[in-house]
Amino acid sequence: MGKNVTAVVEELVTPILAGLSIELVDIEYVKEGSNWFLRVYIDKEGGVDIEDCGAVSEKLSKRLDEVDPIPDAYFLEVSSPGIERPLKKEKDFHWSIGKRVQVKTQEPIEDTKIFEGTLTVFDNGMLTIEEDEKSYQIPYDKVESARLAFVF
């Protein structure tokens, strides 16, 4: 197969989501034990519900059957990213301004690699996170992973 599974699935699911005013958050194709799982995480303003997930799953399943891009048997799961939504793309960071986030960097910045606080600015490739009266500047290209942080 020329393209990897997640790239092919992204091409197939994007028009389905656009028609439903739902955004793609992430796609995973992973093996757990002896089973393969294709997980598609979706979201929209106000959150997705079980009907949204069901509609996307049904339409995507039909497209996957038509195109048949995956040689292995797999389970398709369509769901919300949850309250600790991963932040993967620049648009995710813009959307998260004003929200509490956790960011892990590839290398230490000011002697730490994990930052949790409010994302106050994302501009010119720099994130500004306010944490306990302190402000951190983190280059976007140094971010290893990021997610929304839920406070209990």
For 91, counting Cβ atoms within 10 Å of its Cβ (0-12 exposed, 13-18 middle, 19+ buried), the class is exposed
User: Do 37 and 72 sit in the same domain of this protein?
Assistant: yes
Q: CA angle at residue 130 from 126 to 134, to 5 degrees?
A: 110
Tokens of 54: 């069901």
Out of 79, 100, 121, a domain closes at 79
User: Do 75 and 95 sit in the same domain of this protein?
Assistant: no
User: Do 100 and 121 sit in the same domain of this protein?
Assistant: yes
Arithmetic mean of pLDDT, 34-59: 94
Out of 30, 49, 79, a domain closes at 79
Tokens of 21: 């005013």
pLDDT at 132: 86
User: Do 75 and 9 sit in the same domain of this protein?
Assistant: yes
Share of the chain above pLDDT 90, in %: 76
How many beta carbons lie within 10 A of that of residue 148, not counting itself?
19
Q: Kindly report, residue by residue over 30-41, the tens digit of the pLDDT.
A: 999 999 999 999
Q: Kindly report, residue by residue over 7-36, the tens digit of the pLDDT.
A: 999 999 999 999 999 999 889 999 999 999
Residue 128's domain comprises 90-148
In the chain, the number of structural domains is 2
CATH number at residue 24: 3.30.300.70
Q: Kindly report, residue by residue over 58-116, the tens digit of the pLDDT.
A: 999 999 999 998 988 999 999 998 888 889 889 889 989 999 999 999 999 999 999 99
Distances (CA, A) of 12 to 20, 64, 67, 93, 94: 14, 8, 9, 25, 25
